[in-house]
Amino acid sequence: MSVFIGLRCAMCKTEFPSEALYVCDQCLGPLEACYDYDAVRATLTRDALADRPRNLWRYRELLPVMGEPRTGLDSGFTPLVRAHRLASELGVEELYIKDDSVNHPTLSYKDRVVPVAATRAVELGFKTFCCASTGNLGNSVAAHAARLGLTCYVFIPQSLEPGKIIGATVSGPHVVGIDGNYDDVNRLCTQVGDRYGWGFANINLRSYYAEGAKTCGFEIVEQLGWRYPRHVVVPVAGGTLLPRIGRAFRELREVGLASGELPRIHAAQAAGCAPVINALESGAEHPEPVRPDTIAKSIAIGNPADGYQVLETVRGSGGGGERATDAEILDAIGLLARTEGIFTEPAGGTTLAATIKLLQSGTIGKGESIVVCITGNGYKTSSVMANQLEEPTKLGRSLREFEAFLAERSSRPVSP
Ligand SMILES: Cc1ncc(COP(=O)(O)O)c(C=O)c1O
Ligand SMILES: [Zn+2]
Q: Which domains does the chain have, with CATH numbers?
A: 1-38+57-108+210-416 (3.40.50.1100)
Residue 134 Cα: closest atom of ligand 1? 14
**Per-residue CA distances from 370 to 54, 113, 131, 168, 177 (Å):** 23, 24, 32, 33, 38
Model confidence over 320-363: pLDDT tens digits? 999 999 999 999 999 999 999 999 999 999 999 999 999 999 99
Label residues 323-352 b or e (16+ Cβ within 10 Å = b): bbebebbbbbbebbbebbebbbbbbbbbbb
Model confidence over 230-271: pLDDT tens digits? 999 999 999 999 999 999 999 999 999 999 999 999 999 999
CA-wise closest residue to 256 among 40, 111, 63: 40
Question: What would the DSSP string read from start to end of 338-405?
Answer: HHH---B-HHHHHHHHHHHHHHHTTSS-TTSEEEEEE-BBGGGGGGGGTTTSPPPP---S-HHHHHHH
Model confidence over 78-119: pLDDT tens digits? 999 999 999 999 999 999 999 999 999 999 999 999 999 999
User: Does the beta carbon of 237 sit less than 6 angstroms from any atom of ligand 1?
Assistant: yes
Mean residue pLDDT of the chain comes to: 96
Model confidence over 278-311: pLDDT tens digits? 999 999 999 999 999 999 999 999 999 999 999 9
171-177, long-range: CB < 8 A, 24+ apart: 171/139, 171/142, 171/143, 171/145, 171/146, 172/142, 172/146, 173/138, 173/141, 173/142, 173/145, 173/146, 175/138, 175/142
CA 21 to centroid of ligand 2, rounded, Å: 12
pLDDT at 85: 98
Distance, in Å, from the CA atom of 361 to the CA atom of 354, rounded to the nearest integer, reads 11
pTM higher than the cut 0.85: yes
- pLDDT tier at 412 (50, 70, 90 boundaries)? confident
Instruction: Taking residues 25-34, report their average pLDDT.
Output: 94
DSSP designation for 30: B
User: Does the beta carbon of 376 sit less than 6 angstroms from any atom of ligand 1?
Assistant: yes
Which protein residue's CA is at the shortest distance from atom 10 of ligand 1? 238
Residue 108 Cα: closest atom of ligand 1? 1
Q: Are 310 and 239 in contact (CB under 8 A)?
A: yes
pLDDT at 415: 57
Instruction: Taking residues 63-91, report their average pLDDT.
Output: 98
% residues pLDDT > 90 (the chain): 95
CA-wise closest residue to 364 among 318, 310, 329: 318
- pLDDT tier at 161 (50, 70, 90 boundaries)? confident
Ligand 1 pocket, mutate which of 113, 114, 136 (most atoms under 8 A from CB): 136
Whether the pLDDT of residue 150 is over 60: the answer is: yes
Distance, in Å, from the CA atom of 70 to the CA atom of 344, rounded to the nearest integer, reads 29
Instruction: Taking residues 371-391, report their average pLDDT.
Output: 95
CA 299 to centroid of ligand 1, rounded, Å: 5
CA 23 to centroid of ligand 2, rounded, Å: 8
Q: E strand or H helix at 35, and its extent?
A: strand 31-35
Whether the pLDDT of residue 49 is over 80: the answer is: yes
Whether the pLDDT of residue 416 is over 60: the answer is: no
User: Does the beta carbon of 263 sit less than 6 angstroms from any atom of ligand 1?
Assistant: no
pLDDT at 411: 85
Ligand 1 pocket, mutate which of 165, 182, 185, 240 (most atoms under 8 A from CB): 240
pLDDT at 282: 98
Find the ligand nearest to 16 CA. Answer: 2
- pLDDT tier at 8 (50, 70, 90 boundaries)? very high
% residues pLDDT > 70 (the chain): 99
CA-wise closest residue to 347 among 377, 322, 321, 305: 377
- pLDDT tier at 2 (50, 70, 90 boundaries)? low
Q: Are 30 and 10 in contact (CB under 8 A)?
A: yes
CA-wise closest residue to 144 among 239, 75, 216: 75
Find the ligand nearest to 30 CA. Answer: 2
